[in-house]
Amino acid sequence: MTASVLQIRARVRRRRGLVVSAALLAVLIVTVVSLSVGDYDFAPADLWRTLWGGGDRVQTYVVFQVRAPRMAMALLVGASLGAAGALLQSLLRNPLASPDLLGISGGAGAAAVFAILILGLSGPLLAVAAFGGGLIVAAFLLLAGQRRADGGYRLILAGVGVAFLCVALMNYMMVRAKVELAQSALIWLTGSLSSTPWWNVATVFVVALLATPAVIACARWLPLTQMGAATAASLGVRTATVRTAAVLTAVLLTSVTCAFVGPIAFIALCAPAIARPLLGHGAVGIGTSAAVGAALLGAADLVAQFALPGMSVPVGVVTGAIGAVFLLWLLATSKGRQL
């Protein structure tokens, strides 16, 4: 192995380390601000003392029962959506391939709305229903994209159509439902992190933990599949298996977050698009995308809570506004025009 190759590898590792460190630092800053700021402000010393069990009853309640569950859910959901978006974008080699635009979030949302309004489900059963809806959409997209060589583009176009169909189904169910149920479903559809109990956080954490081995395996094999099916097969990689594993993992991560906080838009699109250029060298960057997604959603939740004086808006409103601007910028760049 030549010295130039060793130097390139060293530079790649150094750059990856810097990017990951910066993303984790952003997550840490968002975490501290989320726990400190609110109607009851904490000085750094008071927050540190409360975290280690030295606060009074009010401080302990505010930190551990009000702010910490919401902050933890924001970080978990952001990381899960960032990883899901990185999996799909790397698999299809297209920066527009995200669960929102492919209709996976729409399928999970439609199934969840049906479970809420028609079946009266909640909690873990709602997560199962959302996963089923996302899985149905993913299966349809895989069938739509496997017939031709341009399957990635066909899959994205089919996903956009499915997303509109899911929106129509959700609107129909909302119109037919009772006012009280429709109002609760509407708040859920916007995407909200308010009133998050610890058991919701624990459920999302367990699912993300179970999906981690699949994410690591996909991160290892996806770069080889990007070299083409023939080259990947010659290296012993089963492209169909990797493709199915990546899609199922993305559906699982998207559906479980959708079930508990609603279909939060554009985090899965923006996080990988920010992480990949920072890493460079055609990296998949699933872990970095997860860290960027956590920081993005945590920061968006802070904006949702405190940007407008005297009122709080659902975090989905903020991510939708930011994501729309980001999508327009992406389409206006040279890479976007090549799509």
Give residue-wise pLDDT tens across range 76-115.
999 999 999 999 888 887 777 888 888 888 888 888 888 8
**In this structure, what token pair is assigned to residue 273?**
């698009």
Mean pLDDT over 332-338 rounds to 56
Alpha-carbon radius of gyration of the chain = 21
Contact yes or no for 163/101 (Cβ under 8 A): yes
Looking at residue 56, its pLDDT comes to 80
Helix axes 124-145, 239-261, angle to 10 degrees: 140
In this predicted structure, the answer to whether residue 308 has a pLDDT above a threshold of 80 is no
Backbone angles phi, psi at 306, to 5 degrees: -125, 0
97-106, 177-186, 211-220, 300-309, range with the lowest pLDDT: 177-186
In this predicted structure, the answer to whether residue 234 has a pLDDT above a threshold of 70 is no
- State the chain's mean pLDDT as an integer: 82
What is the tens place of the pLDDT at every residue in 98-157? 888 888 888 888 888 888 888 877 777 877 888 888 888 888 877 766 654 554 567 777
Looking at residue 232, its pLDDT comes to 65
Mean pLDDT over 215-239 rounds to 74
Higher pLDDT, 169 or 151: 169
In this prediction, residue 246 has a pLDDT band, given cuts at 50, 70 and 90, of confident
Residue 160 CA: distances (Å) to CA of 104, 107, 125, 325, 335: 10, 12, 27, 18, 20
Helix axes 179-190, 151-176, angle to 10 degrees: 150
Mean pLDDT over 233-252 rounds to 79
In this predicted structure, the answer to whether residue 336 has a pLDDT above a threshold of 60 is no
Higher pLDDT, 3 or 271: 271
In this prediction, residue 260 has a pLDDT band, given cuts at 50, 70 and 90, of confident
Looking at residue 339, its pLDDT comes to 47
Secondary structure (H, E, C), the chain: CCHHHHHHHHHHHHHHHHHHHHHHHHHHHHHHHHHHCCCCCCCHHHHHHHHCCCCCHHHHHHHHHHHHHHHHHHHHHHHHHHHHHHHHHHHHCCCCCCHHHHCHHHHHHHHHHHHHHHHCCCCHHHHHHHHHHHHHHHHHHHHHHCCCCCHHHHHHHHHHHHHHHHHHHHHHHHHHCCHHHHHHHHHHHHCCCCCCCHHHHHHHHHHHHHHHHHHHHHHHHHHHHCCCHHHHHHCCCCHHHHHHHHHHHHHHHHHHHHHHHCCCCCHHHHHHHHHHHHHCCCCCCHHHHHHHHHHHHHHHHHHHHHCCCCCCCCHHHHHHHHHHHHHHHHHHCHHHHCC
In this predicted structure, the answer to whether residue 72 has a pLDDT above a threshold of 70 is yes
Mean pLDDT over 264-291 rounds to 83
Looking at residue 57, its pLDDT comes to 86
Looking at residue 152, its pLDDT comes to 59
Looking at residue 334, its pLDDT comes to 52
Percent of the residues in the chain that have a pLDDT greater than 90, as a whole number: 17
Contact yes or no for 277/249 (Cβ under 8 A): no
Of 288, 331, 320, the C-alpha closest to 82 is 288
Of 295, 300, 339, the C-alpha closest to 318 is 300
The pTM of the full predicted model, rounded to 2 decimals, is 0.89
Looking at residue 291, its pLDDT comes to 92
